Amino acid sequence: MVVPRPIRLLTLISAFLFLWLVYQIFKSDLPHGSPPKEEKITNWVKDPNLDPTDEPPEPLRRVIGNNYAPNNPDSSRVNATLMALVRNNEIDAMLQSMRDLERTWNSKFNYPWLFLNDEPFTDEFKEKTSAATRAEVRYELVPKEHWDMPSWINRDLYDESVEVLKAQGVQYMDRFSYHQMCRWNSGFFYKHPALLSTKYYWRVEPNVRFFCDVDYDVFGWMQDHNKTYGYTINLYDSPESVAGLWPATEKFLAVHKEHLHPNNAIQWLTDKEGRPENFEKAHGYSTCHFWSNFEIGDMDFWRSEAYEKYFNHLDRAGGFWYERWGDAPVHSIALGLFEDKSKIHWFRDIGYQHVPFLHCPNSSKCRGCETGKFTDGESFLQKEDCRAVYFKHVGMH
Ligand SMILES: Nc1nc2c(ncn2[C@@H]2O[C@H](COP(=O)(O)OP(=O)(O)O)[C@@H](O)[C@H]2O)c(=O)[nH]1
Ligand SMILES: *[C@@H]1O[C@H](CO)[C@@H](O)[C@H](O)[C@H]1NC(C)=O
Ligand SMILES: *[C@@H]1O[C@H](CO)[C@@H](O)[C@H](O)[C@H]1NC(C)=O
Ligand SMILES: *[C@@H]1O[C@H](CO)[C@@H](O)[C@H](O)[C@H]1NC(C)=O
Ligand SMILES: [Mg+2]
């Protein structure tokens, strides 16, 4: 029997389709586990927070007996402190943050709290915050020379710049103390005499929330795993607030190439695709940054020669005043350029909220937040999320 040519072709196609179908069925049976921790996500299809989140890799330091008891002189605590710059009138908001962090973590590990302020703390502030923890608490004034507008800033030019950028919608541009706060968080907190003999810090702001129980020593983990910096959220910045920051950074790099780390994250800093209009307005900076109201870091990085020179360069350039450079983009750019990117850690297990953004992992240790939800505010805020850009260029370390 002779099979006509078109039929032969059809049979061939059917056989091929059958094999393809079998392959597809088999493929969908493969396990769909969460991606390995260090993997880069080149195609962001779903929030990694929806994947089950566990503790980071061993070694993990645990509470055993009284090794982390508050007054134990031989405790297992490493060289670290919790730290908050805060005003007296933020007492209730500060107590909210303390309650959450003590409940989820610090009541187990009892790291000291350090409160800093440009004005003396009231007795009420001291009494209420001391009562919110069993750990040691200290209260310190920010030295005037760390807080005041430096002599080389032209007050008239500052006033004019405030009007110009206010008209462009830069939030907080007209709040003098906001500029002071951003500059202090960029270049001074780790120079405070009360912090000089401390290595790691965890920055805590008033009115933040922590959702998940954390059962290992977070600072000990930073030390054991050689991490410099830990974050939870990556956000785009308002490009108008940092228009001159990248150009000033490029000037610095032109004469200080030696500080560029061979394993840097410059591709994250200079990503164009995520938000092209930000990249344009910020003259080559993606504006993607670690949201620094949460940060766990090694202050020896801020004390390094590279960062000290970089900060002084930026400080002289005047952008903390004539623009509204935040400590978040400044810290992020420095880390992305001068540090080994594998030393930057995503604390995916620490559920966190600072209005209007949150970080809510998929874990039975978390309560009070909706898994994977990124904002509590208007839905347009969703596009401020730039974790995808970070994971694409750097990965999830
Ligand atoms: N002592 C003091 N703390 C400040 C001042 N300005 C801001 N802060 C603190 O700096 C942090 C950031 O300020 P915040 O108003 O929360 O800014 P936002 O998070 O960017 O909206 C918070 O911990 C504030 O309590 C100030 O003038 N004095
Ligand atoms: C959390 O992870 C579990 C296990 O993989 C999954 O079944 C569940 O759908 C995840 N939760 C969310 C909100 O995605
Ligand atoms: C803590 O760390 C700081 C900064 O690295 C260092 O100067 C200090 O000596 C350390 N203290 C202890 C007890 O190790
Ligand atoms: C951390 O750094 C020290 C000193 O450079 C090294 O001995 C150690 O193996 C490193 N540990 C890890 C986990 O990378
Ligand atoms: Mg805040």
SS3 readout for 230-263: EECCEEECCHHHHCCHHHHHHHHHHHCHHHCCCC
Number of other residues whose CB lies within 10 A of the CB of residue 296: 23
| Shortest-distance Cα residue to atom 13 of ligand 3 | 79
In the predicted model, what is the mean pLDDT of residues 254-258? 98
pLDDT of residue 365 exceeding 50, the answer is yes
The answer as to whether 147 is a domain residue is no
Q: Which residue among 38, 221, 226, 339 is best mutated to probe the pocket of ligand 4, counting the most ligand atoms within 8 A of its Cβ?
A: 226
Q: Is residue 107 part of a domain?
A: yes
pTM of the model: 0.91
Residue 86 within any structural domain of the chain:
yes
Are residue 262 and residue 127 in the same domain, yes or no?
no
> Looking at the structure, do residues 270 and 377 belong to the same domain, yes or no?
yes
CB 113 within 8 A of CB 81: yes
Tell me the CA–centroid distance for residue 245 and ligand 4, in Å.
34
The CATH number that applies at residue 307 is: 3.90.550.10
Give the pLDDT confidence score for residue 15 in this predicted structure.
60
Q: Tell me the mean pLDDT in the region 235-245.
A: 98
State whether 211 and 95 are in the same domain. yes
* Cα-based distances in Å from 270 to 115, 266, 285, 286: 35, 6, 5, 5
Q: Do 260 and 389 share a domain, yes or no?
A: yes
Separation of 58 CA from ligand 4 center, angstroms? 14
Q: How far is the CA of 85 from the centre of ligand 1 (A)?
A: 7
**Same domain as 345, residue 219:** no
Q: Are residues 239 and 93 in the same domain?
A: no
Q: Do 182 and 201 belong to one domain?
A: no
Atom 25 of ligand 1: nearest residue by CA position: 86
Tell me, yes or no, whether 192 lies in a domain: yes
Q: Residue 197: which domain range?
A: 63-142+188-224
Same domain, 214 and 344: no
**What's the total number of domains in the chain?**
2
The answer to whether residue 85 scores a pLDDT higher than 50 is yes
The verdict on 48 and 104 lying in the same domain is no
> What is the per-residue pLDDT across 284-314, written as a single tens digit (0 to 9) for each?
999 999 999 999 999 999 999 999 999 999 9
**Which residue CA neighbors atom 23 of ligand 1 most closely?**
205
The atom number, within ligand 2, closest to the CA of 34 reads: 5
Question: How do residues 335-348 score in pLDDT, each as one tens digit?
Answer: 999 999 999 999 99
User: Does the annotation mark 295 as catalytic?
Assistant: yes
pLDDT at 388: 96
Closest ligand 4 atom to residue 225 Cα is 13
Please check whether residues 179 and 276 belong to one and the same domain: yes
Residues 319 and 396 in one domain: yes
Residue 1 falls within a domain, yes or no? no
Kindly state whether residues 117 and 196 are assigned to the same domain.
yes
pLDDT above 90 for 17: no
Per-residue pLDDT band for 12 (boundaries 50, 70, 90) equals low
